[in-house]
Structure 1
Amino acid sequence: MDIYKMSSFSKNEIGGNKAGVVLDADSLDEASMMQIANQVGYSETAFVMKSDMADFKVRFFTPVKEVDLCGHATIAVFNLLKQLNIIKAGIYHQETKAGVLEVKVNDENVYMEQNQPVFYEIISKDHMKHCFNNFMMDYICELPIQVVSTGIKDIMLPIKSLEILLSLEPNLELIKKISDEFNVTGIHAFSLDTYDNNSAHCRNFAPLYGINEESATGTSNGALACYLYKYNNKVNKFTFEQGYVMNEPSEINVEFNLKDNNIERVYVGGKAVRI
């Protein structure tokens, strides 16, 4: 069985977030998929199967757990399918544990639909301030700390400056504990200061799922775009930077369909290259 290795959301053909992709995975049981994902060792590996309700069924595994949805692995899957001439540009649907979601494939990028945003609890600064070993009392800015999901729940953590964001040293055990407490995948820290005049610069920490830091997270940035639309900037297109501190620069695009100024559909997009 072939295991393809892809890098999604890469900026200028470098960086990005690596994902494994296994096609024609219908014969694999859950234990086999878990074993393969562990051996591949990337933050997620996607397994593509036949579906009775969509064009494809896709399951996503980290090295230690299955997750309902993964943005960068979806981008990897559909870029690969296009590169192998299995599909052409057009609109497709994938069955996932987060529901049946639309995927738009064009000549340049792949955009995946996410669920409509759900805004959960707001968390106090005092509760979060020790998540980083070198924390400063005022390193969190005045935007709310909130759990948001467009398919996977993450804590949106606003940081005052790019300099502070890049210097953060995660306390992985405490982040695990807080992630478990709030039933989230991890912490998505961001600053509105950026290198390239983009919407935000991000760092993502999900040690509960075996991912100490991830260089590009599609679902988290889909949630962040909805958060920023609610609290900061009423636009329908966002571009996020991530992975720079890991020397894997990444660029993630998010677009909305709006109706009466409400978010009706969320799409996360980017390109992927084969490794």
Structure 2
Amino acid sequence: MRVKVYTVNSFAKSINGGNPAGVVLNADGLSDVEMKKIAGVVGFSETAFVMKSNLADFMVRFFTPNEEVDFCGHATIAVFHTISSKGYIKSGRYSQETKAGILDVQVMEDLSIMMNQNIPSYHEIIEKQEIADSLNITVDEMLENLPVQIVSTALRDILVPIKSLDILNSINPDFKKVENISSKYNTVGYHIFTLESLNESNAHCRNFAPLYGIPEESATGTSNGALACYLYKYGKLKHDHITNISIEQGYSMERPSEIKIALTTKEKEITEVRVGGIALNLSEIEVEI
């Protein structure tokens, strides 16, 4: 069987930047096994499958080359960029049914996409030594005044504060240890960050998810949604800037990416999380399964 797959780079900062995702439209007739096979052949960190929904405008399922995940930010950007570019929808607000819940998505006039994520949940604080060992760094190379903590706005990630951009870029993880710790804490992976940046952004990041077959990822919507909430919780965002948060990622992979986040708050509590950006290089391929 041959299947058409659209490919697009989400959160792209430049023509060569962003995080590639696959998009399969009209996927209702595909089995779970077939979707997993397609994702494996495509080989991107995630491929999204768009289906009909009785609860929302669309149902979207997300597969890594290894298994299904509840939600994927950059693949959501890819889905809505694809269907809007192909003329299936116009600018406006839409909803998608995912395994992480029903989430709203806004397609802007310039084809940039902003998607709603869940209100943040803050989980375990992890001993820094355990994480430092898996990253082949010392605890002294982490920021002292911020914890290593699991945070989720859709998927659980371990957020790891690093002192400087130089240290961040030099990190060479022990991926087996990262995988084991990710499994131990029931998380997708590590989202390591520094408050230093190249372009006056709020943070600069790298993301490791070897448990899901992704050694490093160039742009992650869910992880950065969680990071923005974490930075707000620990007083690293000015209140008048929380609707215009910018996070850099992918530079270590030569795939410059920019993730935009807007938080809505009431009485210092986050009431809405929106994550977005632009996508470039829409094309299509056919895969045989």
State TM-score, norm by structure 1.
0.98
Q: Distance in 1 between matches of 2:273 and 2:135?
A: 31
Match for residue 207 of structure 1 among 194, 202, 210: 210
Q: Which residue of 2 aligns with 1:256?
A: 263
Q: Which residue of 2 aligns with 1:85?
A: 87
Letter in 2 for 1:233: L
Q: Distance in 2 between matches of 1:228 and 1:20?
A: 31
Q: Distance in 1 between matches of 2:139 and 2:32?
A: 44
Residues 163-211 of structure 1, C-alpha deviations (whole Å, 9 max, x = no match): 0000000110000000001000000000000000100000000000000
Q: Which residue of 1 aligns with 2:277?
A: 270
- 3-state SS of the aligned residue for 1:26? coil
Equivalent residues in 2 for 1:114-263, closer than 5 Å: 114-133=117-136, 135-142=137-144, 143-231=146-234, 232-235=236-239, 236=242, 237-263=244-270
Q: Distance in 1 between matches of 2:266 and 2:25?
A: 37
Letter in 1 for 2:70: D
Deviation at 1:13, TM superposition (A): 2.6
Q: Which residue of 1 aligns with 2:53?
A: 51
Equivalent residues in 2 for 1:3-14, closer than 5 Å: 3-14=5-16
Moved more, 145-154 or 9-18: 9-18
Match for residue 111 of structure 1 among 114, 137, 143: 114
Gap runs ≥5 in structure 1: none
Does residue 35 of structure 1 match 2:37? yes
- 3-state SS of the aligned residue for 2:114? strand
Does residue 63 of structure 1 match 2:104? no
- Tell whether the 8 Å contact from 2:250 to 2:256 is kept in structure 1 after alignment: yes
- Alpha-carbon RMSD across the aligned residues, in angstroms, is 0.9
Q: Distance in 1 between matches of 2:132 and 2:222?
A: 24
Q: How many residue pairs align between the two structures?
A: 274
Q: Distance in 2 between matches of 1:39 and 1:90?
A: 33
Deviation at 1:260, TM superposition (A): 2.2
- Tell whether the 8 Å contact from 2:156 to 2:186 is kept in structure 1 after alignment: yes
Q: Which residue of 2 aligns with 1:72?
A: 74
Q: Distance in 2 between matches of 1:257 and 1:26?
A: 35
Q: Which residue of 2 aligns with 1:19?
A: 21
Deviation at 1:137, TM superposition (A): 3.8
- 3-state SS of the aligned residue for 2:140? coil
Residues 88-118 of structure 1, C-alpha deviations (whole Å, 9 max, x = no match): 0100000000000000110231011000000
Residues 16-54 of structure 1, C-alpha deviations (whole Å, 9 max, x = no match): 000000000000010000000000000000000000000
Q: Which residue of 1 aligns with 2:101?
A: 99
- 3-state SS of the aligned residue for 1:154? strand
- Tell whether the 8 Å contact from 2:129 to 2:138 is kept in structure 1 after alignment: no
Q: Distance in 2 between matches of 1:246 and 1:107?
A: 30
Letter in 2 for 1:8: S
Residues 56-97 of structure 1, C-alpha deviations (whole Å, 9 max, x = no match): 000000000100000000000001111001000100000000
